[in-house]
Amino acid sequence: MSSSTPSASQGWDTHCHVFDPVKHPYIPHTPYAPPRRTAEDLMSAIPASNFVIVMSVPEGTSTAHTLEAIASLQSAGRKGRGTVVMDPIRMVPGELQRLHHAGVRSVRIHTLRIGEDVEVLKTLFKDTARRIDAAGIQWGIDAQLSLKTWSALVPTMTKLHEELGTVFVVDHIFCCSPNDADNPVLDDLLDLVRRGIMYVKLSGLDRYSAGKGFQAFGPLVRRLVSADRGGGLLFGSDWPHVVMGQGGQLSEVDTAAHLRFLQEVCENVGEGAWQKVWNDNAETLYA
């Protein structure tokens, strides 16, 4: 494996967070309360040029901090984009167009907020997709769901893509464990990746490795990369690496090593896979 860090002359980190509990207070009873981390901290910590700020549970549905962070990134000469959490009642054309102009490109559905009832999610996916379409914009629907739940939603996602062109973005590699490398449930989902219906973030590997480290995901990552020679896959750091359920703790993650691991897997597959994962897929999705 190369010991060098991938060049940030391009490069997208599609899953990172910012926090400021003083200026942007957290929701009551937040399940975790991270310390302040800014867009400037992010640019110093992660060797990428471009970033997608993803709203997290403590922020509720206020988009103000995300928009501030996007503006800070853009002022620094970076491409800044956002993934927001919204109440459906606020998803009216004027508000969605305002957010789009500011750099938002997707809306996030998080199981810590709504659970994983498949029928509820089907309704929410349909309603969200139609509201985005009514605003005349092209946003993805981003979600952090289990592999089983994603699989149950395949018919709904396929139909919405056929009707409206909706694309879906998977947080944290389907919340898989390393043991899912040969899981047949992935077959239908990887077909959606090949058809341009779904994007998958190679993020959260340390979080879901059950203490084994991101290298334990080697077989699963190879399966995903090989499915379409890197098509439909995205890098996400999950910075600043919040520890769930432990107050404001952050974990130490070697992002450069994570990147080198992904780069090696992609280069073993070949056919430009790493360029797609590190840059090109995100350039398309977050244009």
In a domain, 259, yes or no: yes
- pLDDT tens-digit profile of 147-174? 999 999 999 999 999 999 999 999 999 9
Distance of CA 77 to the CA centre of its chain: 22
How far lies 276's CA from each of 215, 262, 272, in Å? 21, 12, 7
Give the residue among 5, 16, 47, 70 at the shortest CA–CA distance from 204: 16
pLDDT at 3: 42
In a domain, 254, yes or no: yes
In a domain, 7, yes or no: no
List the domain range (segments joined by +) for residue 130: 12-285
How far lies 258's CA from each of 44, 149, 152, in Å? 17, 27, 30
Residues of the chain with pLDDT under 70: 1-9, 246
* Gap between the Cα atoms of 172 and 133, Å rounded: 26
pLDDT at 7: 58
Give the residue among 14, 62, 19 at the shortest CA–CA distance from 39: 19
* Gap between the Cα atoms of 231 and 225, Å rounded: 7
- pLDDT tens-digit profile of 22-75? 999 999 989 899 999 999 999 999 999 999 999 999 999 999 999 999 999 999
CATH label of the domain that carries residue 125 = 3.20.20.140
In a domain, 3, yes or no: no
In a domain, 151, yes or no: yes
In a domain, 159, yes or no: yes
pTM listed for this prediction: 0.95
Domain count, the chain: 1
Beta bridge pairs of residue 104: 82
What single DSSP character describes residue 171?
S
In a domain, 81, yes or no: yes
